[in-house]
Amino acid sequence: MVERESAQPPERILKIFGAPKGRRKRASALFRSEVSMWALQHGMEPSVPDSHELTTRTDENVWSTKLCIAVLVGFIALFCVIMPGSPKVPTRGKVKGTKQMLAAIAAALEKYKEAFGGYPPDTSDDPGSLPRYLGEDITTRDGKQHEPFLTFPQDTLKNNCVVDFWQTPIHFAATPFRVRHNKGRFDLYSFGPDCRTPADEPGNGDDDINNWSHQ
């Protein structure tokens, strides 16, 4: 019995397999004809893959690439949401920042009292009291000049008031009959994330941030 030599398809036919998708479609008729003739000449059953079989792998690669891009875009969007400095800073970060702000204001108020023997006016009487008395140069009647006790970043000021991370004014009270918690000193508080506080207990809301409770 004579062994048949392994048949290889003509180079012209093989090139069509590696051709771009558009070129494969244009060569479809010629491709089918030549492959069929070559198979018959070598005693083989003509079997030509259709255009769908030729392009399946290419289509799968395209969809795989699109999926990877979609996942990457999703991760980037999530990172932008939680990244510090983003407009949508998580609530926990805003609470921490507001606590640090109240601590800095409290320290500046104590320095002001050491210099002048008392605290600035309450914010209920003068909404701009904190930035005016703590954040600007002050010249006393005897000509003595004091530098600012605290520098307020521009994004913490709104309508000449000091605001928290939710753009709500910080409240300060040192007048004795208004001080409900830190007798002999002052009450300092923020309305917190919900931007509200109980009318009968200002600063004592569920999410309020103040200088008298351990939070």
Contact call for residues 68 and 136 (beta carbons, < 8 A): no
58-72, 127-141, 151-165: least confident range:
58-72
Say if residue 80 is exposed, middle or buried (CB neighbours under 10 Å; 0-12, 13-18, 19+).
exposed
pTM of the model: 0.57
CA torsion, ordered 214, 103, 185, 205, to nearest 10 deg: -50
Q: Give residue-wise pLDDT tens across range 42-67.
A: 555 555 455 544 455 555 666 667 67
Q: Tally the C-alpha atoms within 13 A of residue 72's C-alpha that lie toward its C-beta.
A: 6
Identify the pLDDT of residue 207. 85
For the cut 90, the answer to whether the pLDDT of residue 122 exceeds it is yes
What is the total residue count of the chain?
215
Mean pLDDT: which of 57-71, 169-183, 195-209 is highest?
Answer: 169-183
What is 128-160 written as a DSSP string? THHHHHHSS-EE-TTS-EE--S-PPPGGGEETT
**pLDDT-based confidence at 2, cuts 50/70/90?**
very low
CB atoms near residue 85 (< 10 Å): 6
